[in-house]
Chain A
Amino acid sequence: ETGVTQTPRHLVMGMTNKKSLKCEQHLGHNAMYWYKQSAKKPLELMFVYSLEERVENNSVPSRFSPECPNSSHLFLHLHTLQPEDSALYLCASKPGQGNNSPLHFGNGTRLTVT
């Protein structure tokens, strides 16, 4: 149990589908993150939210749409994805956006786009 829960664990979707990834943290943290991990590549930061406000969008295509309704929940809405978007999507949280504490990761969603 990491304190950060992601659902679903696995997702297969076609390029015309719309789906959402969900993340929930039970750690009382104020900052939440989406990372993408593709094969043979470093973890790529996608979005950062601090106190429900988006503070960073790391040049992510608009087919990825984040939503943070409160400090405990984070969503990533997906539509018209491409096969190269297949990857492990990781949610993470930390106590505050500006401090030096470590990230706590969820178990990830393995996404396959067909």
Chain B
Amino acid sequence: QKEVEQNSGPLSVPEGAIASLNCTYSDRGSQSFFWYRQYSGKSPELIMFIYSNGDKEDGRFTAQLNKASQYVSLLIRDSQPSDSATYLCAVGGSAGNKLTFGGGTRVLVKP
């Protein structure tokens, strides 16, 4: 079983719609959860982080964490073509020193 799992996509959404990305993880003791965006040929850039159960909103992005079910999700509202990228879920282990990444979900926003 992979430690952090994401659907590879591509997830195709029309411009203006909501993109919903999911991530599941296996380490029940995980403490921290991150979403990174990576454009083709570029390095990952941090979008959001969440540590507690529930929702966290930042602009058009909302991260949702459910530790009991071991999943974290990212919602992108009012999707724009510039949101087309690969979104990486990263999970910090119980010791905090290591981030494990999922394989990423490719998102395509069509005008």
- Given A90-B43, A108-B43, also A103-B95 (CB < 8 A): no
Indicate which residue in A88, A98, A106 contacts B97 across the interface (CB closer than 8 Å): A98
Q: Is the CB of A98 within 8 A of B43?
A: no
Smallest Cβ-Cβ distance to B3: which chain A residue: A42
Q: What's the Cα separation between A42 and B99 when bound, in Å?
A: 12
- Given A90-B43, A103-B99, also A42-B4 (CB < 8 A): yes
Smallest Cβ-Cβ distance to B88: which chain A residue: A43
Contacts of B71 in A (CB 8 A): none
Q: Chain B contact residues (Cβ within 8 angstroms of A): what range?
A: 20 to 34
Q: Does B29 contact A (CB under 8 A)?
A: no
Q: Does B10 contact A (CB under 8 A)?
A: no
Q: Chain A contact residues (Cβ within 8 angstroms of B): what range?
A: 20 to 34
Q: Does A56 contact B (CB under 8 A)?
A: yes
Contacts of A88 in B (CB 8 A): 43
Indicate which residue in B4, B51, B95, B102 contacts A98 across the interface (CB closer than 8 Å): B95
Q: Is the CB of B98 within 8 A of A100?
A: no
Smallest Cβ-Cβ distance to B103: which chain A residue: A42
Q: Within residues 93 to 107 of chain B, which ones have a CB less than 8 A from any CB in chain A? A: 95-104
Q: Is the CB of B98 within 8 A of A45?
A: yes
Q: Is the CB of B34 within 8 A of A48?
A: no
Q: Within residues 54 to 111 of chain A, which ones have a CB less than 8 A from any CB in chain B? A: 55-56, 88, 90, 97-100, 102-108, 110
Q: What's the Cα separation between A104 and B97 when bound, in Å?
A: 14
Q: Which residues in B have some Cβ–Cβ distance to A below 8 Å?
A: 4, 31-32, 34, 36, 41-46, 49, 51, 88, 90, 92, 95-104
Q: Which residues in A have some Cβ–Cβ distance to B below 8 Å?
A: 2, 31, 40-43, 45, 48, 50, 55-56, 88, 90, 97-100, 102-108, 110
